[in-house]
Amino acid sequence: MLYVVTGPPGAGKSSWIKAHAKASDIVIDLDLMALAMAGPGADHHDHSDVLTRVVHRARFAAMNEAFQHLDTTDVYLIHTMLTGKARAKYKRLNARIVVVDPGERAVRERVRAMRQPGMEAVVTRWYREQRQGGTQAITRQTSRDW
């Protein structure tokens, strides 16, 4: 089964996966991949352009390979900003889309406290798309749900 976990920055997507995935599952989390590829002491969320480019390519390769094993392995994929094209692909793969959203106020507080300033614009964009009907959620989760 493919679980596509979406939500704004700081919503708790990685925490949701930690609460649900098993050790034998595949987890594709861009931030964890960047930490694994960065040098010691790297910031958890602030990456150089080169590292970001390398990690994005590695993520796409990991996704393509992992999708070949959905019949035997659960795959958890974080995808913050779902596009129509991605949504269509995930539908073809019979993915379960999980939206993790503790609410805009909580997210903005977390982002101000724990993320680089540019993430506030991503939060604004994510919530604007939600108000415009961007993500068709199959399952909507808040931190209270798990």
pLDDT band at 44 (very low <50, low <70, confident <90, very high): low
The CA R_g of the chain, rounded to the nearest whole Å, is: 15
Q: Distance (Å, rounded) from C-alpha 102 to C-alpha 16?
A: 11
Query: Is the pLDDT confidence value at 143 over 50?
Result: no
Q: Is the pTM of this model over 0.75?
A: yes
| Mean of per-residue pLDDT scores for the chain | 88
**Eight-state DSSP code of residue 67:** G
Query: Is the pLDDT confidence value at 47 over 90?
Result: no
CATH superfamily of 2-145: P-loop containing nucleotide triphosphate hydrolases (3.40.50.300)
User: Domain locations in the chain?
Assistant: 2-145
pLDDT tens string 51-104: 989 999 999 999 999 999 999 999 999 999 998 899 999 999 999 999 999 999
